[in-house]
Amino acid sequence: MPSILITGGAGYIGSVLTPFLLERGHSVTVLDNFLHKQNSLALCCANPRFEVIRGDARDERLLTELIPKHDILIPLAALVGAPLCDRDPIAATSTNYEAIRSLCRIASPTQAILLPVTNSGYGIGQPGIPCTEDSPLRPISLYGRTKVEAEQVVLQRENSISFRLATVFGMSPRMRLDLLVNDFVYRAVTDRAVILFEGHFKRNYLHVRDAASVFAFAIEHFTQLRGRPYNVGLEDANLSKLELCEKIRQHVPSFVFLEAPIGEDPDKRDYIVSNARILSTGWRPAYSLDDGIRELIKGYRTIHNSIYSNV
């Protein structure tokens, strides 16, 4: 089994992906700065194939020491989301782009890199026309720009794959409430109401466990997939905010949502996405949006504060 290095492996996706890969027999080292004081990998520590390093993914000395010891590199460490990146643009650029450039420079040509980016790089799409991997990338946020630039660097290598992940949802040991589905379900459960800005804006969605599974699938089918970007999301979940709220109300009938007549969403992206390329490889998502909403409703019986928000 190949050995895997995951930077940011204690984060929202990483704390699901790490045990997922360990369960499949891989050896996994996580490099994380544990910025949020999370203990999301506690249950992994009993596994002899798990190692954890407290450190910064931008530390070239540390990367130079760790990278040669692993066959596969999964750089999850990032400042995620437009609001967080706008608050600290220097950290966003150094983590989301410059750290990836360093990792590519240090890695040998034979090492595989699996890079998660975001389909927010599509920016504002054409109404009714799904964005494919061949669609122009027109990011409209610093977050989107840093991810697009990181992908360009990684795909210049032969042994690399990028995943343009849809907006992720679902429970994770390192929970995030600021993600759209997670946020709206939390508001439905706790506040019973939400005010929408520009509720017609559309985007695609993906369960966090399916985000983990696509990495495992890529490791098993690397030769088939390498050298290309892949949109990864639910084909039946290209939904506007209003449509998402309607879906949530099916599970929380008391949920009330209203569209504000004035004001705007700082995240202006608006597009629908085709996931046909990844589906053509044989990978399939296992969790629907309804599955995630049901899961979140149960999870929010245990969460009653905002410490899980990135912003």
Are β-strands 238-240 and 202-207 bridged in parallel, bridged antiparallel, or unpaired?
antiparallel
CA distance 273 to 129: 8
Task: Check which CATH number belongs to the domain holding 16 and give it.
Answer: 3.40.50.720
- pLDDT number for residue 309: 65
- DSSP3 helix / strand / coil % (the chain, rounded to 5): 40, 20, 40
In which domain, by residue range, is 57 found?
3-168+206-233+274-285
User: Which secondary-structure segment (H or E) carries 136?
Assistant: none
Give the orientation angle of helix 241-249 with respect to helix 180-190, to 10 degrees: 40
Q: Is residue 226 assigned to a domain? A: yes
CA distance 146 to 75: 14
CA distance 222 to 114: 9
Contact 43, 111 (CB under 8 A): no
| Max CA distance (Å), the chain | 56
CA distance 9 to 32: 6
Q: Is residue 223 assigned to a domain? A: yes
Q: Is residue 158 assigned to a domain? A: yes
Number of domains in the chain: 1
**What pLDDT, in 10s, does the model give residues 44-103?**
999 999 999 999 999 999 999 999 999 999 999 999 988 899 999 999 999 999 999 999
Contact 10, 32 (CB under 8 A): yes
Contact 249, 32 (CB under 8 A): no
Q: pLDDT tens track of the chain, all 311 residues? A: 899 999 999 999 999 999 999 999 999 999 999 988 999 999 999 999 999 999 999 999 999 999 999 999 999 999 998 889 999 999 999 999 999 999 999 999 999 999 999 998 999 988 889 999 999 999 989 999 999 999 999 999 999 999 999 999 999 999 999 999 999 999 999 999 999 988 999 999 999 999 999 999 999 999 999 999 999 999 999 999 999 999 999 999 999 999 988 777 767 788 999 999 999 999 999 999 999 999 999 999 998 766 666 65
Beta carbons within 8 Å of 94's beta carbon, 6+ residues apart: 58
Quote the pTM value. 0.95
Q: What is the DSSP letter of 203?
A: E
Q: Is residue 260 assigned to a domain? A: no
Q: Is residue 188 assigned to a domain? A: no
Q: Is residue 144 assigned to a domain? A: yes
Tokens of 233: 């999301």
